[in-house]
């Protein structure tokens, strides 16, 4: 068995957005003799004994220059203790370390899922021996190195409730960072249509703004909700503990996915794994969902119609079966580890 170096943003079982990566690390620990993690910041985690977690210093409020210093310090200090490198999502680390890893004979792999194409990503593609992505839409640079694996959803963690009981109001859920790319204004406009029709419903939004422009966008959404008189219908929960996510999927009746990322979003698959009916306007969802679960990106009227039409139709078991077959975490870890260990 080889030793693996993983570079990722955060190791914290409680983080809503990145807590899932704990399961990835645990999976890799079963496939490699030793796993060393370099992360920008670390929080709480329970990992196998053959895993070592090293922080670059963001969690200690160190300046970015120190992150860079610590990155190269650890690369050199532990260079005889790893045979391959797996960079998760942040191509800059592949750009910075790629030349050294090639000189040292380390196998290099990149995981990237976003429609954005930057100069950093182009350079990272050059230095990577293998590039893993969840769907064809998730990596948009033509490359012979590309391997499409599907996402890695822990379907034992994200699973249906023992019983899903419908209340008198339709409970709608959306999960993700509060940002313009999430297109929540379309959901608000659709909610106005449904409220005017007398439908009993509620909308729960999980996530928080991260950037200054996201904070301004969140205020804009709240102003629009107030202006339309929809306060009673919307609940902004902010960021929650990752361990709580399944119960929110399980307690709701419908998941609405409006992201304009163009790539296949993990939250959509988490909802599907919980047998929660979904509606999506995302380009990548068109290849995995039937037409009746797709709506046009900026069309609140169509979204309102499909919300009402979906109330009494069951898709849950079919949606979960798709995730188990195509985006199961165990299968993903097997694929990535197999390629790296070749």
Q: What's 277's domain CATH number?
A: 3.40.50.2000
- Mean of pLDDT values over 129-136: 94
Average the pLDDT over 205-210 and give the result.
94
| Alpha-carbon distance values, 161 to 204, 253, 276 (Å) | 18, 12, 10
Going across the sheet that includes 278-280, the strands are 234-238, 201-206, 170-175, 254-257, 278-280
Model pLDDT, residue 98: 97
Averaged confidence pLDDT in the chain: 94
In this structure, the answer to whether residues 72 and 109 fall within a common structural domain is yes
Domain that holds residue 193: 170-325
Q: Is residue 162 part of a domain?
A: no
pLDDT at 253 over 60: yes
- Which pLDDT score, from 0 to 100, does residue 310 have? 83
Q: Is 280 within a domain?
A: yes
Q: Are residues 336 and 319 in the same domain?
A: no
The DSSP output letter for 254 is E
Confidence of residue 261 (pLDDT cuts 50, 70, 90): confident
Percent of the chain with pLDDT over 70: 99
Which of 8-17, 252-261, 326-335 has the least mean pLDDT? 252-261
Which pLDDT does position 206 carry in this prediction? Answer: 97
In a domain, 225, yes or no: yes
Query: What is the reported pTM?
Result: 0.92
Q: In what order do the strands lie in the sheet with 84-88?
A: 51-55, 34-42, 3-11, 84-88, 107-111, 130-133, 146-148
Q: For residue 1, what pLDDT is reported?
A: 78
Residues 75 and 104 in one domain: yes
270, 135: one domain = no
Mark whether 89 and 148 lie in a shared domain.
Answer: yes
Residue 151 · residue 182 · CB < 8 Å: no
Contacts for 300 with CB less than 8 Å, ≥ 6 apart: 186, 187, 188, 189, 190, 192, 193
Tens digit of pLDDT for each residue in 51-98? Answer: 999 999 999 999 999 999 999 999 999 999 999 999 999 999 999 999
Supply 169's token pair.
Answer: 């109001």
Dihedrals φ, ψ of 51, to 5°? Answer: -110, 130
185 with 293, same domain: the answer is: yes
Query: Which of the four pLDDT bands, split at 50, 70 and 90, describes residue 311?
Result: low
- Provide the percentage of residues in the chain whose pLDDT is more than 90: 87
Q: How many domains would you assign to the chain?
A: 2
Same domain assignment for residues 97 and 231: no
Tens of pLDDT along 160-178? 998 777 778 999 999 999 9
Give domain status of residue 160, yes or no: no
For residue 168, what pLDDT is reported? 82
| 211 burial level (CB within 10 Å; 0-12, 13-18, 19+) | exposed
Distance (Å, whole) CA 282 – CA 259 = 6
In a domain, 46, yes or no: yes
φ, ψ for residue 309 (rounded to 5)?
Answer: -70, -25
Range 274-280 average pLDDT: 95
- Would you say residue 312 has pLDDT above 60? no
Do residue 174 and residue 318 come from a single domain? yes
SS3 breakdown of the chain: % helix, strand, coil, rounded to 5? 45, 20, 35
pLDDT-derived band at 260 (thresholds 50, 70, 90) equals confident
Q: Both 123 and 191 in a single domain?
A: no
In this model, does residue 115 exceed pLDDT 90? Answer: no
Q: Please indicate, yes or no, if residue 159 is contained in any of the structural domains.
A: no
117 and 210 assigned to the same domain: no
The Cα-based distances of 148 to 21, 139, 248, 336 in angstroms read: 19, 9, 29, 10
Q: Are residues 290 and 336 in the same domain?
A: no
- 8 A C-beta contact, residue 221 and residue 259: no
Residue 199 included in any domain: yes
- Same domain for 225 and 128, yes or no, is no
Q: How confident is the model at residue 154 (pLDDT cuts 50, 70, 90)?
A: very high
Asked if residue 158 is part of any domain, the answer here is no
């Amino acid at each position: 068995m080889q030793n693996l170096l993983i570079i990722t943003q955060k190791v914290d079982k409680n983080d809503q957005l990145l807590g899932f990566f704990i399961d990835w690390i645990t999976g890799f620990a079963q496939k490699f003799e030793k796993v060393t993690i370099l992360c920008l910041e670390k929080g709480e985690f329970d990992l196998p004994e053959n895993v070592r977690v090293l922080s670059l210093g963001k969690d200690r409020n160190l300046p970015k220059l120190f992150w860079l210093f610590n990155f190269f310090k650890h690369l050199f200090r532990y260079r005889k203790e790893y045979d391959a490198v797996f960079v998760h999502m942040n191509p800059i680390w592949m750009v910075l370390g790629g030349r050294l890893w090639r000189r040292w004979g380390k196998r290099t792999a990149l995981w990237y899922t976003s429609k954005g194409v930057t100069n950093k990503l182009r350079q990272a593609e050059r230095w990577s021996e293998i590039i893993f992505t969840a769907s064809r839409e998730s990596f948009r640079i033509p490359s012979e190195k590309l391997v499409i694996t599907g996402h890695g959803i822990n379907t034992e963690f994200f699973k249906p409730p023992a019983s899903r009981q419908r209340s008198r109001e339709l409970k709608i859920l959306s999960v993700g960072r509060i940002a313009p790319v999430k297109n929540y204004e379309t959901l608000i406009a659709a909610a106005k249509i449904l409220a005017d029709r007398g439908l009993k419903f509620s909308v729960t939004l999980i996530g928080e703004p991260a950037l200054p422009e996201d904070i301004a966008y969140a205020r804009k959404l709240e102003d629009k909700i107030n202006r339309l008189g929809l306060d009673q219908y919307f609940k902004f929960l902010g960021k929650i503990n990752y361990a709580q996510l399944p119960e929110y999927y399980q307690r709701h009746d419908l998941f609405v996915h409006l992201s304009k990322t163009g790539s296949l979003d993990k939250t959509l698959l988490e909802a599907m794994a919980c047998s929660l009916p979904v509606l999506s306007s995302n380009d990548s969802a068109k290849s995995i969902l039937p037409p009746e679960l797709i709506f046009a990106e900026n069309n609140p009227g169509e979204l309102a119609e499909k919300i009402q039409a979906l109330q009494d139709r069951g898709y849950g078991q079919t949606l979960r079966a798709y995730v188990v077959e195509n985006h199961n975490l165990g299968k993903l870890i097997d694929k990535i580890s197999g390629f790296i260990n070749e």
